[in-house]
Amino acid sequence: MTASESITLNCAELSSRELARKLFELKGDSAVRLLASPASRPPSSLCSGLTEHLSIEIDGNVGDFLYLLGAEANIEVHGNAGDCVGHSMVSGGVTVRGSVGHSFGAFASAGFLTSLGQAGDFCGRGLVGADVFVRSKVGSFAGFEMLSGTLVLGNGAGENLGTGMTGGVIYVRGDVKSICPGLRGVRLKDADAMRLSLLLVRAGIKANATDFKAFRSRQGE
């Protein structure tokens, strides 16, 4: 296949393995449109291990483990996504226009993950450097065992925010049901506000950074 190609693939017509092979064969800077049929089960494990600079748009809902261990590619989902989106992600970006399941961005080491809907429990679990943004509500245990990186929650947080967190920062706008004892609210510094503003712009959200509260682990004190 030639570089800078633009192709459309129908997920319902290909097996998961065939679909993965076709994506692996694509050269950098290609644009791909994946059609996920609403009639069939949302395809799981899509785009796992991709390392080319691809631009991928997915029409429809996708299943679990979207873009596991992915690098370089930018993915936009026009629908909802399952659990563990961006698991162990290395770089690139994922934008989900709908809601995502649990463990959104789990163990992601770099890149940017956005959900414009809600997220389930364990959002940003074990983050090791990536930036994760959720516009609407998230479940319990957001930022669980987070080591570094940034978690931005646009509409409050559920219970046990930051359990086991040892590094990184969580920004929350709205109410937090409960935070773990190892977490503390900190004053939003100028550097925080600037960084947060940039992340909000990147996510395409009009919001004021000063509306957010910052939470860090007490272990860093």
Partner 1 sequence: MNSSSSATAILEELMFTQAELPGASAASSTSEAVPVARTDCSVAVYEGQRKFKFSVPYFVRGLGRAELGLAWSPFCGLLRGHGIPVFSDVKSLEGVPASAVPARWACRYIDEPIDATELKSADAFELMCRSRDARSWCWTSEVGMMQLESFVFAVRMAAGGDTPIGVGLPLGCHDADIERCVSANVDFISLVARFSQLDANDIRSVIRCRHIAQQAKRPDLSIFVTAPLRDIQHAHKLLALGATAICVDELLLPLIPKPNATSTSLSANSGMLSGISIPQNRKPIELPELSVMLTKFRDELADRMLSVGAPSLADFNANTLRSCTERCCRITGVAALEL
Which positions touch partner 1 (CB under 8 A)?
16-17, 20-21, 24, 44-45, 48-49, 63-65, 68-71, 83-84, 87-88, 90, 102-103, 106-109, 122, 125-126, 128, 145
**Minimum distance, C-beta of residue 143 to partner 1, in the bound complex (Å):** 14
**Minimum distance, C-beta of residue 205 to partner 1, in the bound complex (Å):** 26
* Cβ proximity to partner 1, 87 vs 213, nearer residue: 87
* Cβ proximity to partner 1, 21 vs 189, nearer residue: 21
* Cβ proximity to partner 1, 81 vs 214, nearer residue: 81
* Cβ proximity to partner 1, 103 vs 173, nearer residue: 103
**Minimum distance, C-beta of residue 32 to partner 1, in the bound complex (Å):** 16
**Minimum distance, C-beta of residue 53 to partner 1, in the bound complex (Å):** 16
Give the per-residue SS3 of the chain. Answer: CCCCCEEEEEHHHCCHHHHHHHHHHCCCCCEEEEECCCCCCCCCCCCCCCCCCCEEEEECCCCCCCCCCCCCCEEEEECCCCCCCCCCCCCCEEEECCCCCCCCCCCCCCCEEEECCCECCCCCCCCEEEEEEECCCECCCCCCCCCEEEEEEECEECCCECCCCCCCEEEECCCECCECCCEEEECCCHHHHHHHHHHHHHHCCCCCHHHCEEEEEHHHC
**Minimum distance, C-beta of residue 47 to partner 1, in the bound complex (Å):** 9
* Cβ proximity to partner 1, 84 vs 196, nearer residue: 84
